Amino acid sequence: MMRIAILGFGSVGRGIARAILAKNLDITVTGLADSRSGIIDPAGIDLLAALDRKGNGDPCGNPGVSPADVVAKADYDVLVEVTPTNVDDGEPALGHIRGALRRGKHVVTSNKGPIALAYPELRDLAAANGVFLKYEATVCGAIPLIHAMQEGLAGNTLSRLYGVFNGTCNYILTRMAEDALTYEQALAEARELGYAEADPTYDVEGIDAAIKLVILANTILDMQTTLDDVERTGITLLTPEALRLAEDQDCTIRLIGEIVPEAGVLRVSPRIVSKTHPLVVEGTLNAVTVETDLAGDLTFIGKGAGSMETASAVIGDLLYIHDRYVQGS
């Protein structure tokens, strides 16, 4: 039996709780915290009750228990850090991840901030403590891109990696192309459907996609980059006429993130793409192509966000650790 502590009980945290309830994963939750409260229970937290409380708009646990208490005091094998991303300094998640690693606990996170900002430090801290740091859910939700590149494509040299890393932008561009909507109309529709935040800057200016490139560059491609190294253009100035001009040539426009390690290219920008290209996916899907020397070109397509989809990536990481490092299971 593997014991985990979950920080963050929003969409992703609840998705993980539901998956644990629904499937026999051999995982018990001994610590849980949201922004307002926490629970520590070595015997296992009643997740159904916690989900109910959250569903009623109540805190998931006891207001006297903080996330830091859960990190420091709960009895767990793996800390699951699934709070929202802070791109400025990665906090408070960064501190919590450090705390767990120093306690000799494995960490699984969906939080882009700490991985984009402090990966080398966290990797070394995990190694020094003999534990694992996994972050599959930080890039492209359900698509097991990091696992595929670290394990399945081990031994390959990647010459180029590019794709659709942001579902919100992809939805907006899909709608602009389909029904000749203006950017503003498509954005309003995306908001109504819950695909875009009230402040969509992070998505539509390409910041989210750029952070994902930084994570892939730093963790998989051994580059040392920051968000400032990414040449970035968003989609806010695109016109329906531009999409029509692309359409006239059997092409469309997509927001593409691209890394060319050899040339030092890190770039997020709208690009003209042939409609028959495998990266041209509809709606909120993500798609990534990697060009490698041994395996040739591979394209991964899947859901880049969503409660259960992101939980899937977290659970994949948890079971990876479970199979290798948890005794007595």
Partner 1 sequence: MKLEMRDQPGQLVAALQPISAVGGNIIAVIHQRETPAATKALDVQIVLELPEGRLARLLELLREQGVNVVRIGEERLLYECTLIMIGHLMHTDLSDTVDRIDTTGSAEVTELSLVMPAISSPSSARITIRSTTRDEMKKAIRILRSVAEQKDLLIIEPLEDA
Binding site for partner 1 (CB under 8 A): 162, 233, 237-239, 241-242, 244-246, 248-249, 251, 253-254, 256, 269-274, 277, 279
One-letter identity of residue 236: T
Single out the residue of 23, 29, 136 nearest to residue 79, CA to CA: 29
Closest CB to partner 1 among residues 200, 270:
270
Query: Least distance to partner 1 from the beta carbon of 156, Å?
Result: 21
Q: Where do the H-state alpha helices sit in the chain?
A: 11-22, 47-55, 67-73, 93-102, 112-128, 145-147, 167-179, 183-192, 201-204, 207-219, 240-247, 307-325
Q: Which is nearer to partner 1, 137 or 253 (CB)?
A: 253
Question: Least distance (Å) from partner 1 to the CB of residue 217?
Answer: 19
Q: How far is the CB of 172 from partner 1 (least distance, A)?
A: 15
Q: Residues 6 or more apart from 188 whose CB is under 8 A from it?
A: none
In whole angstroms, the minimum distance from the beta carbon of 269 to partner 1 comes to 7
- Shortest distance in whole angstroms from residue 166 CB to partner 1: 16
State how far the alpha carbon of 324 is from the alpha carbons of 16, 20, 106, 251, in Å: 20, 19, 12, 46
Residues known to be catalytic: 212
CA count, 13 A, side-chain hemisphere, 189: 17
Residue 86 vs 269, nearer CB to partner 1: 269
Measured distance between the N- and C-terminal CA atoms of the chain, rounded to whole angstroms: 5
Q: DSSP assignment of 153-178, as one string? A: TTTPPEEEEEEE--HHHHHHHHHHHH
Q: Is 102 exposed, middle or buried (0-12, 13-18, 19+ CB in 10 A)?
A: middle
CA distance 284 to 306: 10
**Dist CA 328 CA 17 (whole Å):** 23
Residues 6+ apart with CB under 8 A from 179: none
Q: How far is the CB of 76 from partner 1 (least distance, A)?
A: 44
72 vs 242 by CB, closer to partner 1: 242
